[in-house]
């Protein structure tokens, strides 16, 4: 069963707003990754985190690897329309192992 | 840059038929992973291969089998298809030779399988 709890499940954004989402787990993961998936496409890697406490940025994206190795968060600053999509966190126990995905956060544009 | 290639992109089959999905990893990548994503769900790991040997197995039905060939491409064979097998099937690849902390898996565009 799913081990990663990702929240929120969905959120509405207005252009220019900052967006935050997080993942928590009952078990330790040694790598955390964040992916974005557009409808009908494969997940695209955004950020990979390898060390507890690590804070990594990729443009307007910032992610952190929780100090307990059981959580991670992703921030998107100054959102733009193309940020719409589904964001997944994924944890990996050891190098080369399978990925365990969170349930996803669906980012939508405010009407 | 070259990406993971999957074929076909779309496949429609009848119940009880068989299907073969193909995955061509990024050049020099030696590890292949298969994931299944049902509608509105997160990807679920099925099986993985490293250097043509099965390296890990997840929630893959016995009706499914897979292999990795000498050129590192992989095929997922699905038999006695059921309606519930309708899903997106993703292949991801990784260069295990990276060792260290380089654990990134890169996903292909997926094959959408519809079972009628």
Give the confidence band of B102 by pLDDT, cuts at 50, 70, 90: low
pLDDT of residue B37: 96
Q: Is A95 on the interface with B (CB under 8 A)?
A: yes
DSSP symbol at B104? -
- Note the pLDDT tens digit of each residue in A69-92: 999 999 999 999 999 999 999 999
Contact A45 B100 (CB under 8 A): no
Average pLDDT of every residue of chain A: 93
Average pLDDT over residues A7-25: 95
Residues 55-74 on A with a CB inside 8 Å of B are: none
pLDDT of residue A97: 87
Contact B42 A101 (CB under 8 A): yes
pLDDT of residue A96: 78
Q: Give the C-alpha separation, B108 to B95, whole Å.
A: 15
- Note the pLDDT tens digit of each residue in B36-59: 999 999 999 999 999 899 999 998
pLDDT of residue B2: 82
- Note the pLDDT tens digit of each residue in B1-50: 789 999 999 999 999 999 999 999 999 888 999 999 999 999 999 999 99
Name residue B75's beta-bridge partners.
B22, B67
Give the confidence band of B108 by pLDDT, cuts at 50, 70, 90: very high
Structure-token pair, residue A70: 């059981």
Q: Give the C-alpha separation, A13 to A80, whole Å.
A: 9
- The radius of gyration computed from the CA coordinates of chain A, to the nearest angstrom, equals 13
Give the confidence band of A111 by pLDDT, cuts at 50, 70, 90: confident
User: Locate tokens 């030779």: which residue?
Assistant: B97
Chain B CB contacts of A92 below 8 Å: 103
pLDDT of residue A71: 96
**Cβ neighbours of residue B98 closer than 8 Å, sequence gap 6 or more:** none
Contact A43 B101 (CB under 8 A): no
Would you state the torsion angle of the CA atoms of residues B60, A100, B105, A105, taken in this order, to the nearest 10 degrees?
A: 120
| Structural contact between residues A25 and A103, judged by C-beta atoms closer than 8 angstroms | no
């Amino acid at each position: 069963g799913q081990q990663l709890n990702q929240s929120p499940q969905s959120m509405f954004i207005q252009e220019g707003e900052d967006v935050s989402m997080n993942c928590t787990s009952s078990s330790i993961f040694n790598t955390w990754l964040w992916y974005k998936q557009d409808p009908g496409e494969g997940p695209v890697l955004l950020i990979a985190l390898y060390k507890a406490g690590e804070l990594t940025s990729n443009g307007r994206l910032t992610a952190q690897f929780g100090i307990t190795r059981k959580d991670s968060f992703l921030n998107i600053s100054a959102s733009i329309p193309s940020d719409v999509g589904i964001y997944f966190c994924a944890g990996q126990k050891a190098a080369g192992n399978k990925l365990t995905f969170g349930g996803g956060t669906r980012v939508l544009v405010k009407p | 840059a070259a990406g993971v290639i999957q074929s076909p992109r779309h496949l429609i089959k009848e119940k009880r038929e068989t299907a073969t999905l193909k995955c061509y990893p990024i050049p020099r990548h030696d590890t292949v992973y298969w994931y299944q994503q049902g509608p509105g769900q997160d990807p679920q790991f099925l099986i993985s291969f490293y250097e043509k040997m099965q390296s890990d197995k997840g929630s893959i039905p016995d009706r499914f089998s897979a292999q990795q060939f000498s050129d590192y491409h992989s095929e997922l064979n699905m038999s006695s298809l059921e309606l519930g097998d309708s899903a997106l099937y993703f292949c991801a690849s990784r260069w295990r030779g990276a060792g260290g902390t380089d654990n990134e898996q890169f996903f292909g565009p997926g094959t959408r399988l519809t079972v009628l």
